[in-house]
Amino acid sequence: MRRMDLRIANVYARSFESLEGDWKYLIDPYDRGEATSRVQEDRRRESPGELIEYGFDEADSLSVPGDWNTQDERLFFYEGVVWYRREFERAPVKGKRHFLYFGAANYRARVWVNGEQVGEHVGGYTPFCCEITAQLRDGRSSVVVKVDNRHGDDDVPTRITDWMHYGGLTRDVLLVELPGTFISEYALHLSDAAAGLEGWVRLDGPDASGPVSVGVPELDARVSVETDATGFARFSIDSDPERWSPEQPRLYGVELQAGQDRVRDEVGFRSIEVRGSDILLNGEPIFLRGISAHEESLLHPGRAFGPEDAEATLGLARELGANFVRLAHYPHDEHMARAADRMGLLLWEEIPLYWGIAWENEDTLELARQQIGELIGRDRNRASVVLWSLSNETPNTPERTAFLSELARHARELDPTRLLTSALFGNVGELLRQLRAIAEASAEGRDAEPSVLVLDDPIAEHIDVVGWNEYLGWYYSAILVRRLDIPEGDVRNAVLEAMPRIRIEVPSGKPLIVSECGAGAKQGLHGADDEVWTEEYQARVYRQQLLMLENAPNWRGISPWILKDFRAPMRLLPGVQDHWNRKGLVSETGERKQAFGVLRDYYEKRRSSS
């Protein structure tokens, strides 16, 4: 099998041809095309007596990039194999190397060029590339990709998630031409001492040991280094750039050259650190006024992709008054971080270690290492990215803690310049005990005593910022009524009314980001503010949550759930959910709900008072 650890950093600055457009496709629900029909060979019938049991030329087309679910009604809930085929012309060029670059293929992908397998990849949200230099030929070439969006118990994520496993070639596919030896990866950031810049570069090719030039022309700064036998070199630059921030998202042109390869990037320079319970951006405390977002388009049905989708999503976040976006629950398109760099929005990026994972499986851990490595490798030079998140809503078990602590160690080794976090449940048993006391007091006609919720999780020792998915006033009430002789609506109202008297404490003393909170509402459904699914109830939950969080001494940010309603097959309530998660502040078609205004007004007051 060919190298799959090879990366092409900043691929959009290279010489490439986009393979976007129509790709022929075949649906293979029994996954027999490879073994029985040899679909990967892309053969054509040469004579009437030749038996071939497939035909790309006669097949329908899917648009790439794009998910298959929203392009063919037969594939809306489909989980299985789809074969893609695209023809192109690119003759071999002496001294040049050629690669196929995939922004993402969900979930498993195998790639053939002219009938020869050139690579495979597992993981639906991170990029990979396949070298095809030896497979190119004069005239027509064919690339065939087998994509399988099924997930197993040992995968990351597993099959059961609260979002749509959109299948297919969901992001850009590029045909990239590079010199024989090229710059495969690089990093450039403020030095640890904040006195100048430092970084590293890695070359790939037969002449990997050689000179590399790195410069920032606007700063009149340039340095030359010699890579070692592995193609690696560290460097430092004596310069003091303006700091990137949401208020002034200053980017500098950075130029790298090694032999015939030249790469230009736009990089911002800023520091991010934790001091006590504060998050410091460029040495100053910052409160993260945020929102969570799934990779669901505001511009068209299905999965978002490309710069237009990124700018639409982040533009809506800015309208909300946000300076921070949590990109959940998996790596989003590369264009998202680049747009955030330009627009001045801080980002939380994460990998899909979500709910139940095979914590004791070494292969699963290796897959998690791979995914966070691919994410860091892609976005390590984006100033907007300040937090790598390891997981979301995972059970507090020794196996989980050992898994995540090893992943934290690996992430810090790859990138020591950013903060680590995880979105945690907190101590659910203690939370339910406190909420039960509140509900019982309300049922007896008395005020509950002020409560203290302690967010204690052993993984806090291994991260810099504690994330908490809160959801008081939405979840937990149904659990409580099974233990109490009190109507669920009364339990929910009692909890909501008591929320301003709840104090949240973080024993580790680390900063707290409320990584999720909120409630569901069907846009356009109105009623009393104690009636669930109405816009009025969702708005009430937001008001009470914000009052409660003011009592949390370590509270340094919030990313409520969620910017936009998103597809979720597990959401079954007819007439309300219809396979949508309705916690969005805007509907699937972009209409603002009342809670959008509640949060926007709060952020404006918070910004004005800071």
Can you give the pLDDT at residue 307? 97
Task: Please report, for the domain that includes residue 454, its CATH number.
Answer: 3.20.20.80
Task: Please report, for the domain that includes residue 68, its CATH number.
Answer: 2.60.120.260
The β-bridge partners of 121 are 109
Q: What's the N-to-C CA distance of the chain in angstroms?
A: 56
Name the percent of the chain lying above pLDDT 70: 99
Higher pLDDT, 354 or 446: 354
Residue 468 has pLDDT above 80, yes or no: yes
Residues 210 and 294 in one domain: no
Residues 188 and 165 in one domain: no
Q: Would you say residue 130 lies in a domain?
A: yes
- DSSP assignment string, 522-533: -TT----TTSTB
Return the minimum-mean-pLDDT range out of 62-66, 269-273, 383-387, 497-501. Answer: 497-501
Residues 66 and 110 in one domain: yes
Summarize the confidence of residues 93-97 as an average pLDDT: 94
Residues 258 and 387 in one domain: no
Query: Would you place residue 608 in the very low, low, confident or very high pLDDT band (cuts 50, 70, 90)?
Result: confident
Residue 45 has pLDDT above 80, yes or no: no
Query: Would you place residue 488 in the very low, low, confident or very high pLDDT band (cuts 50, 70, 90)?
Result: confident
Helix/strand/coil for 90: coil
Residue whose entry in the numeric block shows the structure tokens 């680590």: 420
Q: Per the structure, how many domains does the chain have?
A: 3
Of 270, 285, 318, the domain-final residue: 270
How far is it, in rounded angstroms, from Cα 368 to Cα 359?
Answer: 11
How far is it, in rounded angstroms, from Cα 536 to Cα 426?
Answer: 28
Residues 457 and 561 in one domain: yes
Q: Would you say residue 2 lies in a domain?
A: no
Of 130, 163, 178, the domain-final residue: 178
pLDDT digits (tens, 9 = 90+) for 116-151: 999 999 999 999 999 999 999 999 999 999 999 999
- The whole domain housing 289 covers 274-609
- Smallest CA-to-CA distance from 88 within 145, 149, 170 is with 145
> Which residues make Cβ contacts (< 8 Å) with residue 509, sequence separation at least 6?
276, 277, 554
Residues 322 and 429 in one domain: yes
Residues 173 and 239 in one domain: no
Residue whose entry in the numeric block shows the structure tokens 């934290």: 408
* Helix%, strand%, coil% for the chain, nearest 5: 25, 30, 45
Residues 283 and 222 in one domain: no
Packing angle, helices 334-343 and 306-320, rounded to 10 = 50
The alpha carbon torsion through 265, 268, 274, 275 (nearest 10 deg) reads: 140
Q: Would you say residue 5 lies in a domain?
A: no
* Arithmetic mean of pLDDT over the chain: 94
Contacts 24+ apart (CB under 8 A), 191-194: 191/236, 194/271, 194/283
Q: Would you say residue 394 lies in a domain?
A: yes
Q: Are strands 182-190 and 197-204 parallel, antiparallel or unpaired?
A: antiparallel
Return the minimum-mean-pLDDT range out of 62-66, 414-418, 439-443. Answer: 439-443
Query: Would you place residue 449 in the very low, low, confident or very high pLDDT band (cuts 50, 70, 90)?
Result: confident
- Smallest CA-to-CA distance from 131 within 7, 312, 291 is with 7
Q: Would you say residue 1 lies in a domain?
A: no
Summarize the confidence of residues 75-99 as an average pLDDT: 96
Task: Please report, for the domain that includes residue 191, its CATH number.
Answer: 2.60.40.10
Summarize the confidence of residues 275-285 as an average pLDDT: 97
- Smallest CA-to-CA distance from 566 within 547, 578, 553, 582 is with 582
Residues in the chain: 610
Residue type, 44: R
pLDDT digits (tens, 9 = 90+) for 561-579: 999 999 999 999 999 999 9
Q: Would you say residue 154 lies in a domain?
A: yes
Can you give the pLDDT at residue 241? 95
Residue 97 has pLDDT above 70, yes or no: yes
Q: Would you say residue 215 lies in a domain?
A: yes
Of 178, 212, 234, the domain-final residue: 178
Higher pLDDT, 597 or 449: 597
Can you give the pLDDT at residue 108? 97
Q: Would you say residue 103 lies in a domain?
A: yes
pLDDT digits (tens, 9 = 90+) for 345-395: 999 999 999 999 999 999 999 999 999 999 999 999 999 999 999 999 999
H or E segment to which residue 545 belongs: helix 535-549
Residue 480 has pLDDT above 80, yes or no: no
Residue 3 has pLDDT above 70, yes or no: no
Residues 99 and 75 in one domain: yes
Residues 384 and 532 in one domain: yes
Residue 193 in tokens: 């001492």
pLDDT digits (tens, 9 = 90+) for 233-249: 999 999 999 999 999 99
Query: Would you place residue 1 in the very low, low, confident or very high pLDDT band (cuts 50, 70, 90)?
Result: very low
- DSSP assignment string, 163-222: S----B--S-EEEEEEESSEEEEEEEEE-TTSSSEEEEEEEESTT-SSEEEEEEGGGTEE
Residues 358 and 468 in one domain: yes
Q: How many CB atoms lie within 10 A of CB 270?
A: 22
How far is it, in rounded angstroms, from Cα 505 to Cα 512?
Answer: 9
Can you give the pLDDT at residue 2? 52
pLDDT digits (tens, 9 = 90+) for 151-163: 999 999 999 999 9
Return the minimum-mean-pLDDT range out of 22-36, 313-327, 435-449, 584-598. Answer: 435-449
Query: Would you place residue 297 in the very low, low, confident or very high pLDDT band (cuts 50, 70, 90)?
Result: very high
Residues 535 and 441 in one domain: yes
The β-bridge partners of 388 are 349, 420
How far is it, in rounded angstroms, from Cα 317 to Cα 510?
Answer: 26
Can you give the pLDDT at residue 484? 78
Query: Would you place residue 43 in the very low, low, confident or very high pLDDT band (cuts 50, 70, 90)?
Result: confident
